[in-house]
Amino acid sequence: MNPKLALLTLISILLTSAGAQEEICSHKVQRDASGKILAWHAPQTPGAGYVHVCKLASEFIKSGTPADPKTGKKLYLLYCCFDGPHIKSQEAFDTGKTAGGWMHNPACVYAGLVQGLVLDWRVFTGDDSYIDVVREMLDHQIDFGSTEPDWKWPNVPYASSDPGEVVYVGATKWEHEAMRGEGLHGIEPDKLGELGIGYVKFYEVTEEKKYLDAAIHCADALAKHARVIPEDPNIFLGPQADKSPWPYRVNARTGVVISEYCSNVIEPIRLFDELIRIKNRIGLSDEKVGAYQKARDIAWKWLYCRYGPMKTFIWNAYFEDVPNDPGRLNRVQITPLETARYLLKHPEMDPDIASNVPALIYWVAGAFATEGMDAIKEQTWCYEPMGSHTARYASICAMWYERTRDPYFKEQAYRFFNFASYMTYDSGVVAVGPRWLGSWFSDGYGDYIRHFMEGLAAIPEWAPADENHLLRSTSVVQKIKYSSNRIEYKTYDDDSTEVLRITSKPKKITVNGKGIELRTDLNAEGWTWQPLKEGGVLKIRHTEGPEITINM
């Protein structure tokens, strides 16, 4: 053989071998015949890897998280991040000595785990132990992380805290870094909406009033401080997007605004929506309902006005650890995608949903895609691909596919979910991203599990074919029990719609003991059945009671 050709052949073999050994977070990369990435677990079965990483991550939070050696409390109550045993020694990890020294972000972590563990994974598995796991987090926030009752912003949660501190008072150690974090007694009003809706949903599961009270405190403060942002009638003026209905950062004690602009109004809107929706059941006064509706309308009008982010695309301010940004230069992907999620769940709110949702998806893909990876970066000031944000993008693509049946979005969801799955180690430790091997409780858990679960609900054929699972409900599911030939569950609301992937067509379905009929659609109470190669997709609408029994 020609020596030059032999050398080129050897190089080609070595490169092929290196490619075959390519790894992400300890997992050998799996690819299909076209070279596109597959999930690392059970790669030939779409969706199996998503369930597997949710199981690993959920069980890590329940029983695998180390305790802080000084206080004995789980690390997620005191710290934002940690190094797994793949970075530090197993002994250091097991004894809680690998926690990070960065500011903690409890509000968004706990809100995400209400959704991911209590509303999603618990219902998917029937494991009620997750209620107590998350209850500990919420109780800690209420007892040790709420503002004083006589302050300008009273009885509301801190978004941040100093690392290792049991009592949250804001992040104080980085004030000299252009006010990175909120500082002493600083809060983030958008997190009042985010954790507030978490409190409401947890109340709907447990019916324990302390969580409803905590949610109402958040709503009261947001309603009191909602700001009308006037539009200048001069049509030739440029967008004056320098303020929003709530500031990004404010001192809860004094009311002094630290940072004016935050595009994330969708979380306060969600909180107001839910409290108004259940107003009669919880005995909400007309005065509060009126105040909540007024504040919600202010936020919604601003969102869509010519100064609002739906027009300007100034999606700015979410992450608690960035410096103040008076020029609104940083861009984030979380808020446009979560706004898209809200619209997909409430399509009646936007007559232009057919153009607005794909605009949000395409903008995020264009601004935050990663060359050579099916991955989404976090923000322009932390331009790194991360598993949580990749999974978020995938979940919105899955939901848009569910609505439109456009196969492009199903493929996007598949590829980006596949990539996001690689961040989870066999131990349940979840890395932030392929180049960031440390772990954050937000990125790896609170903002990770729930997106895979949303994807399975939007594309039920990805759920396990040989198991029974409730994938989605328009009402909170208070309890659920799976047995070999029966599923029993109870929802918070009498009127609700559920999606399940089950192994065989039901023989009978009852609502509060009364049988309901098989139908071709769900315009009235009843159920539909879509057979798949194995089992099928069951959809149930019930209007006359919350207790459902499925016999198979």
Tell me the per-residue pLDDT of 261-304, one tens digit each, with 9 for 90 and over: 999 999 999 999 999 999 999 999 999 999 999 999 999 999 99
Exposure of 100 in the CB half-sphere (CA atoms within 13 A): 18
Label residue 1 by pLDDT band (50, 70, 90): very low
Count of positions (residues) in the chain:
552
Label residue 239 by pLDDT band (50, 70, 90): low
- Closest by CA to 445, choosing from 182, 187, 212, 134, is 134
Model pLDDT, residue 237: 66
Rounded distance between C-alpha atoms, residue 134 and residue 128, angstroms: 11
Mean pLDDT of 196-210: 98
Mean pLDDT of 10-39: 72
Model pLDDT, residue 52: 98
Beta strands in 465-535 (DSSP E): 469-473, 477-483, 486-491, 496-502, 508-511, 514-515, 526-531
Rounded distance between C-alpha atoms, residue 192 and residue 17, angstroms: 51
Model pLDDT, residue 13: 34
Tell me the per-residue pLDDT of 148-190, one tens digit each, with 9 for 90 and over: 999 999 999 999 999 999 999 999 999 889 889 999 999 999 9
- Closest by CA to 355, choosing from 11, 179, 347, 345, is 347
Evaluate if residue 8 carries a pLDDT over 90: no
Model pLDDT, residue 19: 40
Tell me the per-residue pLDDT of 504-534, one tens digit each, with 9 for 90 and over: 999 999 999 999 999 999 999 999 999 999 9
Model pLDDT, residue 178: 85
Q: Which residue bears the tokens 């009498």?
A: 494
Strand partners, 540: 498, 527
Evaluate if residue 433 carries a pLDDT over 50: yes
Handedness of CA 365, 367, 370, 371 (dihedral sign): positive
Model pLDDT, residue 233: 74
Label residue 2 by pLDDT band (50, 70, 90): very low
Evaluate if residue 21 carries a pLDDT over 90: no
Q: Which amino acid is at 251?
A: N
Model pLDDT, residue 427: 97
Model pLDDT, residue 335: 98
Mean pLDDT of 430-453: 98
Residue 4 or 332, more confident: 332
Tell me the per-residue pLDDT of 351-395, one tens digit each, with 9 for 90 and over: 999 999 999 999 999 999 999 999 999 999 999 999 999 999 999
